[in-house]
Amino acid sequence: MADNVERVEEVHTRTPGWVGPVVALLAIVGIAGLGLAWYDASQLQAVQSSVSGQIKTDQQNVSQELTGIEQKQTAADAATAGLSSDLGVVTKKLRVTQAELTKARKDAVEAAQQVRDDDAQKLADLNNNVNTQLATKASTDDLNSTNTNVTGVRTDLTGTQNDLKMARSEMGTLIARNHDEIDQLRRMGEREYTEFTIDGRNKPTKVGSMTVELRSVNPKTNQYSVVLVVDDLKTEKKNRSVNEPIFFYQRNGDHRADEFVVNSVSKDKITGYVSMPKAAGTTQASGN
């Protein structure tokens, strides 16, 4: 018995000294591994929770967006259906309008053709009527009436010529008494005429080839006094009457005279004309 106890003690005494530390180290490693495992598990769970929340949020957003898109698509489908319906109605109305327009054009063409036909017929009838009336009126009485009218015109012309003859001067020239008669004489083409108006006394004024200076005017007696300058030759004409010509002759011996005529007088004012033969040369004042 005592021998066994001793052997046990021997056995125990023989256990290596490094076993204890190793066991302790293994225990520590095990505990650390458990701690790390627990930490990793906690982190993984947190990440899973975060990812799950984000996925849920994204799913909700996508669901809302899909719902909005579906609503918009539904509204677009409804609008498209409405437009299709309206387009169908417009197309039907357009077809009706085109048919009416075609008919209206056809009616207008037919009406225009009818108007042209009616006008052509009326024109033909009018032409026949005019020809008939002209043939009827071309009689001896109408010819006599025409001759009578021609005779009357000739008589009027003769009277006009007689009136003009009454205005002839002693030199045989026609004396115009106003602007209208000056135009009549100008149209005859025998002489050249330059009209003038001198307003104010002692104001030399160029008229044709001469210079005229008004000295005095007497409207009561229709008389005036002037100084005429032709080729530097000054001649004073006193108390001359209206429509009384003052004659000037050319130096080259031409017996055709130039004429100075005053048609009207008023206070410090005279109007009239200068008459010259065609292609008249230089003139000088006469003593008339």
Report pLDDT for 254.
60
User: What is the tens place of the pLDDT at every residue in 229-277?
Assistant: 887 788 899 999 999 999 877 665 667 788 999 999 999 999 999 998 8
User: What is the tens place of the pLDDT at every residue in 81-129?
Assistant: 877 777 777 667 666 677 777 877 787 677 667 767 776 787 787 777 7
Same domain, 210 and 270: yes
Same domain, 188 and 121: no
Same domain, 185 and 117: no
Average pLDDT (185-212) is 90
| 154 domain-assigned | no
pLDDT of 283 > 50? The answer is: no
Average pLDDT (210-214) is 90
Final residue of a structural domain among 91, 109, 127: 127
| 135 domain-assigned | no
Same domain, 48 and 121: yes
Contact 84, 78 (CB under 8 A): no
Same domain, 191 and 281: yes
Cα 178 from chain centroid (whole Å): 46
User: What is the tens place of the pLDDT at every residue in 133-158?
Assistant: 666 665 555 555 655 554 554 545 55
Report pLDDT for 21.
78
Final residue of a structural domain among 104, 127, 150: 127
Look over the chain and give the mean of its residue pLDDT values, rounded to a whole number.
76
| 19 domain-assigned | no
Burial 37-68 (b: 16+ CB within 10 A, else e): eeeeeeeeeeeeeeeeeeeeeeeeeeeeeeee
Query: Which residue segment(s) compose the domain that 84 sits in?
Result: 35-127
How far apart (Å, rounded) are the C-alpha atoms in residues 178 and 270? 12
How many structural domains does the chain have? Answer: 2
Report pLDDT for 94.
65
pLDDT of 31 > 60? The answer is: yes
Final residue of a structural domain among 103, 127, 151: 127
Cα 222 from chain centroid (whole Å): 57
By mean pLDDT, which of 55-64, 189-198, 223-232, 274-283 is the weakest? 274-283
